[in-house]
């Protein structure tokens, strides 16, 4: 079966070009956002770090978005091999565009080993097949979609989303800061490589995440300035991003023109695969 073009484009985006030892270049892509989508830089930086590691898996990463990325230009990733120990390795990746740092990431890798285990149970939610498709909701309600969101519709995404909770453009009433979404890639990936699935999970984890902090406020989008400040992921267990995953996000705090969100990503059979956290600018102009 032929690979969906949207998935082929995503895989090509994550296939970095080696320039020199520890130095890689990635393409940028316009997906309808004003600047490079943060998940793209997250995924590419993680791939760059992975290219310098053998026999170890990323278990956590912490990143800062420093400047908006230009999707009309490539991004260079410079990897610092900070440490290789007996069980753990550490890498730092700096993303450079037009001669300036736009992003940096620290990632830790570990040799696979057994140990004590527990996990928070997955909340009870309807299955994805019983829920509305996000893109279908957008297309069915064009008059209720903000101009910036309408531009996103022009670009086909490599993921499908099923919403447990109504999106704010259909229900703008202030409500608790909780968002639950099923997601997966639009087709089966051609590889079982856990590193590939981790990189794509990093890519997907930034989508509409810190927006959770807006739900109690319902601000006028014309007055709102938003931007990701940082992002963190902890990979707990392997998962496939071409099978349904539940992203549960909440926001315990907003203050100082910043909103904070945290997330848990579960496989359909209830395993906690990853945890995320992000703070973003939420400035009313």
Tens digits of residue pLDDT in 268-281: 999 999 999 999 99
Catalogue the long-range contacts made by 130-137 (C-beta closer than 8 Å, 24 or more residues apart). Answer: 131/162, 131/163, 131/164, 131/182, 132/162, 132/163, 133/160, 133/161, 133/162, 134/160, 134/161, 134/162, 134/163, 134/167, 134/181, 135/160, 135/161, 137/163, 137/167, 137/170
How high does pLDDT run on average in the chain? Answer: 92
Residue 99 lies in a domain: yes
Beta-strand ranges (E) seen in the chain are 17-20, 23-26, 57-65, 75-84, 88-97, 100-110, 159-163, 178-185, 224-235, 245-255, 258-267, 272-284
Q: State in Å, rounded, how far the first CA of the chain is from the last one.
A: 50
- Catalytic annotation on 228? yes
Tens digits of residue pLDDT in 76-87: 999 999 999 999
Residue 47 lies in a domain: yes
Closest CA to 225 of 49, 56, 34, 73: 34
Copy the structure tokens of residue 54. 């053998």
- Tokens 């420093």, located at residue: 66
Q: What burial class does residue 271 get, using C-beta atoms within 10 Å of its C-beta: 0-12 exposed, 13-18 middle, 19+ buried?
A: middle
Residue 86 lies in a domain: yes
How far out from the chain centre does Cα 36 lie?
13
- Catalytic annotation on 206? yes
Q: Which of 89, 108, 251, 278 is catalytic?
A: 278
Residue 136: is its pLDDT beyond 90?
Answer: no
The pLDDT value given to residue 40: 96
Name the band, by pLDDT with cuts 50, 70 and 90, for residue 285: confident
3-state SS assignment for residue 2: coil
This prediction has a pTM of: 0.93
3-state SS assignment for residue 41: helix
3-state SS assignment for residue 98: coil
Q: Other C-beta atoms within 10 Å of 231: how many?
A: 27
Residue 21 lies in a domain: yes
Residue 119 lies in a domain: no
Structural domain of 196: 5-112+128-284
- Catalytic annotation on 44? no
3-state SS assignment for residue 129: helix
Instruction: Give dist(CA 212, CA 77) in Å, integer.
Output: 30
Copy the structure tokens of residue 169. 């453009």
Instruction: Give dist(CA 97, CA 83) in Å, integer.
Output: 26
Residue 120 lies in a domain: no
> Which CATH number goes with the domain that contains 171?
2.40.160.210
Name the band, by pLDDT with cuts 50, 70 and 90, for residue 11: very high
Residue 118 lies in a domain: no
Q: What integer is the mean pLDDT of 207-232?
A: 88
Q: Which of 44, 97, 205, 228 is catalytic?
A: 228
Domain total of the chain: 1
Residue 280 lies in a domain: yes
Q: Helix 38-50 vs helix 5-13: angle between axes, to the nearest 10 degrees?
A: 60
Q: Which of 40, 89, 205, 206 is catalytic?
A: 206
Closest CA to 187 of 147, 219, 159, 156: 159
């Amino acid at each position: 079966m032929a690979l969906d073009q949207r998935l082929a484009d995503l895989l090509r985006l994550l296939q970095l070009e080696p320039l020199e030892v520890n130095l890689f270049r990635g393409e940028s892509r316009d997906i309808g956002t004003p600047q490079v989508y943060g998940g793209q830089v997250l995924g590419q930086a993680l791939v760059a770090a992975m290219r310098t590691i053998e026999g170890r898996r990323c278990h956590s990463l912490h990143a800062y978005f420093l400047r908006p990325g230009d999707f009309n230009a490539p991004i260079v990733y410079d990897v610092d091999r900070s440490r290789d120990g007996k069980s753990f390795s550490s890498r730092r990746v700096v993303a450079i565009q037009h001669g300036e740092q736009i992003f940096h990431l620290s990632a830790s890798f570990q040799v696979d080993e057994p140990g004590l285990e527990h996990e928070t149970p997955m909340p009870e939610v309807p299955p994805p097949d019983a829920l509305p498709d996000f893109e279908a909701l957008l297309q069915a309600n064009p008059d209720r979609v903000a101009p910036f969101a309408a531009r996103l519709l022009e670009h086909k995404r490599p993921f499908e989303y099923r919403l447990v909770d109504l999106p704010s453009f259909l229900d703008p009433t202030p409500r608790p800061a909780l968002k639950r979404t099923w997601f997966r890639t639009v087709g089966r990936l051609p590889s079982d490589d856990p590193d590939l699935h981790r990189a794509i999970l990093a890519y997907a984890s930034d989508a509409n995440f810190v927006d959770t902090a807006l739900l109690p406020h319902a601000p006028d989008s014309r007055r709102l300035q938003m931007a990701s400040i940082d992002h963190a992921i902890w990979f707990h267990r392997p998962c496939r991003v071409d099978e349904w995953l539940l992203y549960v996000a909440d926001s315990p705090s907003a203050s100082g023109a910043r909103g904070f969100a945290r997330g848990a990503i579960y496989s359909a059979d209830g395993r906690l695969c990853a945890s995320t956290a992000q703070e973003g600018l939420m400035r009313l102009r």
